[in-house]
Amino acid sequence: MTITPSSPSVSGRLLLATVLLIGLLTVAGCSTTDDYATEADEPTTGAVIETLSFVDINEMDGARYELRYSLNASDTAAYNVEVYELTDDEAEFVSISDLNSGESQYRNDVPPPWDAGETRRYELRIVDEADSTVVDTISFRITKEGA
């Protein structure tokens, strides 16, 4: 007896086409990195922060960034990265994470602006856990372009 694979049914093809079309329409409405402008200031001291770059920005995943930093491996101090959104000259706490002396990069994300022409401002602070001293900071802005 020989078994031959049957061809997909018409209803199966229709279902697949519908799923693909819905997926395409869902993704087509999302903003991408090209829809945003970013600007980062220089680190305030350069004692820890080397560079800040943006990996990807979209409405679903947020604005993903990479912070390159340098910590002395023999330094026994522990450091955190504190993220703040700057609004109307106030700093609103967003998140906190540990920095590891054995690594040189830190990745995270923040919410991007939603409306065309809107800008969100953020500040990353490197804080010594022992005495809460801010040892370095960097500010950045994300603007959604368009009219």
pLDDT tens digit sequence for 105-125:
999 999 999 999 999 999 999
End-to-end CA distance of the chain: 66
Q: How many domains does the chain have?
A: 1
| Domain annotation covers residue 28 | no
CATH of the domain at 60: 2.60.40.10
pLDDT at 116: 92
DSSP state of 15: H
pLDDT at 72: 73
Note down the domain range covering 82: 33-144
User: CB burial class (10 A; 0-12, 13-18, 19+) of residue 93?
Assistant: exposed
99 within 8 A of 47, measured Cβ to Cβ: no
| Domain annotation covers residue 77 | yes
pLDDT at 60: 87
| Domain annotation covers residue 133 | yes
pLDDT in tens, 3-16: 555 555 656 665 55
pLDDT at 2: 56
Please provide the size of the chain in residues: 147
